[in-house]
Amino acid sequence: MAKKSGPNWVKGKKNKEILELDRKYVSPCYTRSHFTVIDRGKGVHVWDVEGNEYLDFAAGIAVVSTGHCHPDVVKAIRDQAGRLIHMSGTDFFYEVQVRLAEKLAEITPGGGNKKVFFGNSGAEAVEACMKLSRYHTRRHRFIGFHGAFHGRTFGALSLTGSKAIQRSRFGPLLPGVTHVGFGYCFRCPLSLEYPSCDLACVRYIEDELFRTCVPAEDVAAFVVEPVQGEGGYVFPPAEYHKRLKALAEKYGILFVADEVQSGMGRTGKMFAIEHWGVKPDMVAVAKGVASGMPLGACIASSSLMDWVPGSHASTFGGNPISCAAALTTISLLEGGLIENSARLGAYMLGQLESMMGRHRFFGDVRGKGLMIGVEIVKDRTTRAYNTPARNAIIQEAFKRGLIMLGCGPSVLRFMPPLVVTKKQIDDALTIFEEAVSAVESQKIQA
């Protein structure tokens, strides 16, 4: 594991040299909190250029779903690279793209009669969903949600409501997007209590928004993450998505599920929306779909995907190598990794819940499968955010050999590759609890 001494920076001549080059040549807009240069990875482990080993419970931001360099995925990439690297599905046909479209249509909720548009990323998948929603409905408005993250291109950013810095100095953004509160019961946007609230956050859309300033007949789609990712690993109450879908259907509005982070087995089902028994009109996928290769997709019913040739395209979308990696990834997910996510995710959630009694900084523990969040607070009564403590825990864990990321103002997220073992979870939780105890003893406050 990583050396336990020293600050957040990994010491070493090679690490220092590369970080200096990075500062000189790489854009400063990236948010880096682990100052080490990763050299290689295998499964749930990565090694830096100085030889330090880490347990990676960030998984490339929930991307390497089958672990780092899974041999089956590596073989699929190598085989495809030796056969065809690029042809562009925008203007030509190749079998691996068609086979992947067929498979995605099969596994996405709502029956197999679907079509797929391929892009390069989650943001591009969301952009395609937005464009198709407008094209099909002839409507121009969207309803997004506070806390949501859909990407950083102008359309996806217009829907994003996660952090103000992501939107600062980029306006004006896409017109016609209105944000409402998400079903975040730990921090209810309306200061109510579930279940006595009767999901007032959903009723607000019809009772107030549609009545006062957003004509329902102008709304093309609700665009929602089944589980909010960057907003804080927020899981809504049981009836939330069903009520939201029913409201959409009442007014002829499309229900678009952004499964970029929550999909591909992450929550113990292929898609998170399956936990709530809702069939979305459109699904955006990316991140874990191709185990690290760049790929995004918009999946919709054939009747909905009615745009004509030339309406939308992507030169690199559905690249042959990415498609081959995705087909192998899905095979591995269906071959046991989704079940592993559900089983070991339940175990890890239980272990974290048992820690609450020992740690005053724990405000809430929530999750499904291997998508688990721990909300760090100053005080459980006020539930006040404790961002400094959250950040300090990440660094203490890193110094001990565990890579983690935060999300939302003060949430720690656990999102290891789906190949993780019980022993690796136990090792990670031991390091994590040591890190929490170290920070709590420092009495860190905002």
The answer to which of 26-40, 66-80, 265-279 has the lowest mean pLDDT is: 26-40
Q: Please state the rounded mean pLDDT for residues 115-127.
A: 98
Q: What is d(CA 307, CA 300) in angstroms, rounded to the nearest whole number?
A: 12
Give the per-residue pLDDT at 5.
Answer: 39
pLDDT at 295 over 70: yes
| 3-class state of residue 246 by DSSP | helix
Give the per-residue pLDDT at 4.
Answer: 43
Instruction: Provide the angle, in degrees to the nearest 10, between the axes of the packed helices 320-332 and 95-107.
Output: 40
Give the per-residue pLDDT at 319.
Answer: 97
Share above pLDDT 70 across residues of the chain, in percent, rounded to a whole number = 97
Q: Same structural domain for residues 224 and 368?
A: no
pLDDT digit string, tens, across residues 332-384? 999 999 999 999 999 999 999 999 999 999 999 999 999 999 999 999 999 99
Give the per-residue pLDDT at 329.
Answer: 98
**Mean pLDDT (the chain, rounded):** 95
Q: What is the DSSP letter of 85?
A: S
pLDDT class for 442, splitting at 50, 70, 90? confident
Picking from 333, 366, 400, the residue at the C-terminal end of a domain is 333
pLDDT at 34 over 70: yes
CATH code for the domain in which residue 198 is found: 3.40.640.10
Cα→Cα distances 422→102, 417, 428, Å: 34, 12, 10
Give the per-residue pLDDT at 11.
Answer: 82
pLDDT at 254 over 50: yes
Give the per-residue pLDDT at 2.
Answer: 46
Give the per-residue pLDDT at 443.
Answer: 64
Q: Residue 283's domain spans which residues?
A: 72-333
Q: Same structural domain for residues 207 and 239?
A: yes
Give the per-residue pLDDT at 8.
Answer: 52
Q: Look at residues 270, 197, 269, 280 and name the one whose alpha carbon lies nearest to residue 242.
A: 280
| Terminal C-alpha separation, the chain | 30
Picking from 302, 333, 364, the residue at the C-terminal end of a domain is 333
Q: What is the domain count for the chain?
A: 2
